[in-house]
Amino acid sequence: MKQKVIIGFAVLLLLSVVFLISRDLFNSSFKSDENPTEYNIDNLKKIDSALICYKEIMQFDPGMEQVYGISVSENNSIFISGNRQVAIFNSNGTKTKTFTTDSSAHCLITDNNSIYLGIGNHIEHYNLAGEKISSWKAYSENGFITSVAVNKEIVYVADAESKRILKYNTKGELLLEIGQKDTSKGIEGFIIPSPYFEVTFGAYNDLWVVNPGKHRIENYSLSGEHQSSWGVASMQLEGFAGCCNPAHLAVLPTGEFVTYEKGLDRIKIYDPTGKFICVVAGPGSFKGESDFHCTQATLVNDLATDLNGNIYVLDAYNLVRVYAKK
């Protein structure tokens, strides 16, 4: 009797297995609920307000059709490159000068006496009156200059196409290439998956280069030797997210770094050792993504700082936003 019950129970269980499989096979239908495989990053866009240590103190419209690069001089003049023109503003955002260029400059830097423009594959040097001093020979025919840094007699240029940092003198003579891959010396080169490749000088005239594919900020001696680096790949606030970040880099007079990450659109502050300190502006601080129809896939086109520690953000909607420490 007991055995019959056991067999009956076991057979019933077996038939229930067959039923479950049949039902799942023939009755599966599409569901109109949430996408189970959606890569939802909404949580990463939420930033604790206590971590935001800067506030926006000013914004102005430079009145240009398209803006690409920004630089601030020691006397707080703001230089902005746009569609075949460069405009100069005073610290209140009032335009003081405009001059035209042959092509659009995607980046620029001022040494207080002149302006270096990264135009396509080469550098053009202008004085503050808007007169062209020189046009340098392109390193590579297909080159694309994304960043320029100047320090007295030396100009460093980041070429995203050749993945090199090029060292020039102010006459445009090429002195050195940094980043050439050399496996025998363990030099891996820069990994630049997209045209975001930054170079800048630190507070102590040390050279810093963004290696976006590795999510690292690398320090080089002026003779091009790699000395140190910092930065980790992480979706968390402390790290750099996505395939290749940060997209833009600036340095405060105190030596702290200002970084902008495309994708999550975070502007953050790191101390000189690379330790995360706080956030300048997080996702949502700029115009929403849904109505973002610019040709560039970022909300911030460039960053700059002044001697007072203010941060200048050139956003993709042709606005200059100035942030000061709270």
Give the shortest CB-39-to-another protein separation in angstroms: 6
- Report the residue number, 5 or 50, with the smaller CB distance to another protein: 5
Give the shortest CB-233-to-another protein separation in angstroms: 4
Residue for token pair 């569901």: 31
Report the alpha-carbon distance of residue 78 to residue 87 in Å, rounded. 8
Q: Which of residues 46-65 bind another protein (CB under 8 A)?
A: none
Sole window of 82-90, 118-126, 231-239, 271-279 interacting with another protein (rule: CB under 8 A): 231-239
- Report the residue number, 203 or 243, with the smaller CB distance to another protein: 243
Calculate Rg over the CA atoms of the chain. Answer: 26
CA angle 213, 119, 142 (to 5 degrees): 60
Q: Which of residues 19-38 bind another protein (CB under 8 A)?
A: 20-21, 24-26, 28-37
How many chain residues touch another protein (CB under 8 A)? 42
Give the shortest CB-207-to-another protein separation in angstroms: 22
The reply to whether 1 sits near another protein by the rule CB under 8 A is: no
- Report the residue number, 35 or 49, with the smaller CB distance to another protein: 35
Q: What is the dihedral of CA 188, 190, 194, 196, to 10 degrees?
A: 160
- Report the residue number, 120 or 189, with the smaller CB distance to another protein: 189
Give the shortest CB-62-to-another protein separation in angstroms: 36
Give the shortest CB-198-to-another protein separation in angstroms: 19
- Report the residue number, 30 or 204, with the smaller CB distance to another protein: 30
Nearest to 245 by CA among 230, 229, 257, 263: 263
Give the shortest CB-234-to-another protein separation in angstroms: 6
- Report the residue number, 245 or 301, with the smaller CB distance to another protein: 245
The dihedrals phi and psi of 250, each to the nearest 5 degrees, come to: -145, 165
Nearest to 298 by CA among 146, 159, 73, 116: 146
Q: Which of residues 144-163 bind another protein (CB under 8 A)?
A: none
- DSSP-based three-state secondary structure for 169: strand
- Show the binding pattern over residues 188-227: x = contacts another protein (CB under 8 A), - = does not: x--x---------------------xxx------------
Question: Binding another protein by CB under 8 A: which of 138, 233, 278, 324?
Answer: 233
Residue 174, beta-bridge partner list: 168
Give the shortest CB-48-to-another protein separation in angstroms: 15
- DSSP-based three-state secondary structure for 24: helix
Q: What share of the chain is helix, strand, coil (3-state, %, to 5)?
A: 10, 40, 50
Tokens (6 digits) for 215? 């999510």
Q: How far is CA 92 from CA 49, 88, 89, 113, 137, in A?
A: 28, 11, 8, 20, 36
The dihedrals phi and psi of 249, each to the nearest 5 degrees, come to: -145, 140
The dihedrals phi and psi of 318, each to the nearest 5 degrees, come to: 65, 35
The reply to whether 238 sits near another protein by the rule CB under 8 A is: no
Sole window of 3-11, 141-149, 155-163, 222-230 interacting with another protein (rule: CB under 8 A): 3-11
Residue for token pair 């109109």: 32
Question: Cβ(248)–Cβ(260) under 8 Å?
Answer: yes
Residues forming contacts to another protein in the complex (CB under 8 A) are 3, 6-7, 10-11, 13-14, 16-18, 20-21, 24-26, 28-37, 39-44, 183, 188, 191, 213-215, 233-236, 243
